[in-house]
Amino acid sequence: MNSSLQHTIKKNITLVGIGLHSGKEVKLRIKPAPVNSGIRFLRKDVEPQVLIPARIQYVTDVRFATTIGIGNSTVSTIEHLMSAFAGVGIDNAIVELDGPEVPAIDGSAYSFVALLKKAGKKEQAQSRRYLKILKPVAVKNGDSFISAEPCDVMTVTLEIDFDHPMIARQKFSGVINEQVYEDQIARARTFGFLKEVEMMQKNGLALGGSLENAVVLSERSIINEEGLRFPDEFVKHKVLDLIGDLYLIGMPMIAHVQGYKSGHMLHSKLLQAILNDADNYEVVEQDKNVVKRRYWNVSSKQASAAVANI
Ligand SMILES: [Zn+2]
């Protein structure tokens, strides 16, 4: 595999599963797509069908999961599938769905990774482009923060701190590449607290949540009989989420991203802050040639749309 080239998949992938929040069964089909088209989600069940690019400017909700949409048509909980695309190195694909939420499967990205690899990666005749961070950018909310700083290879340092004996403080720090992603990140499951799950379900959320697709914590312990997949599965899942959310910039990023207690909301704010000032980044090919460097004195929406057109 030549990682300096763009990739799609060799053949269609189909899977059926339950949405974590909606509890609804959704059929999903992933199809190959042409160069420079990126990852796009197609709502097949609405008339007319709506094609939503998986880009920061289409993000409509970041409260419990990452949701993208156009008009009234949305696709929620895209982060684990986006993470799999980023982790495996798929640049271009169309994700068709007959419902509003990506299936949770086992609450990690591993099933998506396994299916993408089974379908096979296909090299495409176009260089992959990376968004390389040139200046430190940081956003914060209370004591939580996330930042992106210049670095020669994609690196993530993430720390969480939960007032729960099974989680407490956990930290992940390391270079992110395909091997690291597959071995250490992809299998980490989402997690929730029994108390909060009950509250969320009263509000129509986490309706598809179960011990099959999440690590569930009671007051002092883990309810799942099988226990954890990694001693630090919780922070690794947060890294999985971060990788998925960062991919909404439309191409792999080259930076050292450092976060503390960050979530979907801060991730999307970081991407907006990066795109707000074109001095923050340049778009490069792997041989470090600058493809295009433009100076925009415009809103992040226009700037990210401009990145989309590169
Ligand atoms: Zn997640």
- 241 CA from centroid of ligand 1 (Å): 5
Average pLDDT over residues 217-237: 94
Per-residue pLDDT, averaged over 226-234, amounts to 95
- CB atoms near residue 10 (< 10 Å): 12
**H helix or E strand, kind and range, residue 254:** strand 253-254
70 and 36, same structural domain?
yes
Q: Over 60: is that where the pLDDT of 305 sits?
A: no
Return the SS3 of 138: strand
Active site residues: 264
CA 81 to centroid of ligand 1, rounded, Å: 10
Read off the pLDDT of residues 96-155 as tens digits, 9 standing for 90 and up. 999 999 999 999 999 999 999 999 999 999 999 999 999 999 999 999 999 999 999 999
Shared-domain flag, residues 21 and 73: yes
- Of 92, 127, 162, the domain-final residue: 127
Q: Are residues 150 and 107 in the same domain?
A: no
169 and 287 housed in the same domain: yes
Q: How far is the CA of 237 from the centre of ligand 1 (A)?
A: 6
Q: Residue 297: which pLDDT band, with cuts at 50, 70 and 90? A: very low
Does 188 lie in the same domain as 58?
no
pLDDT in tens, 10-51: 999 999 999 988 888 999 999 999 999 999 999 999 999 999
Q: Does residue 275 carry a pLDDT above 80?
A: yes
pLDDT at 1: 60
CA of 113 to the centre of ligand 1 (A): 15
Contacts of 6 (CB under 8 A, 6+ apart): 35, 36, 91, 92, 123, 124, 126, 127, 128
Query: Do residues 98 and 139 both lie within one domain?
Result: no
Domain that holds residue 85: 5-127
pLDDT score at 298: 36
What CATH number corresponds to the domain at position 160? 3.30.1700.10
CATH number at residue 110: 3.30.230.20
Which of 268 and 208 is assigned the larger pLDDT? 268
- Asked if residue 282 and residue 142 are part of one domain, the reply reads yes
Same domain for 195 and 155:
yes
pLDDT at 292 over 50: no
Distance between CA atoms of 88 and 78, rounded to whole angstroms? 16
Q: Do 136 and 216 belong to one domain?
A: yes
Q: Which residue has the higher pLDDT, 286 or 141?
A: 141
Domain end call among 73, 106, 127: 127
Q: Are residues 122 and 138 in the same domain?
A: no
| 91, pLDDT greater than 70 | yes
pLDDT in tens, 190-199: 999 988 888 8
Distance 295 CA to ligand 1 centre (A): 34
| Residues 140 and 243 reside in one and the same domain | yes
pLDDT at 229 over 90: yes
Whether 191 and 223 map to the same domain: the answer is yes
Total domains, the chain: 2
Going by pLDDT thresholds of 50, 70 and 90, the confidence category of residue 302 is very low
Q: Which of 78, 96, 127 is the last residue of a domain?
A: 127
- 165 upstream amide cis, omega within 30 of 0: no
**Predicted structure pTM score:** 0.91
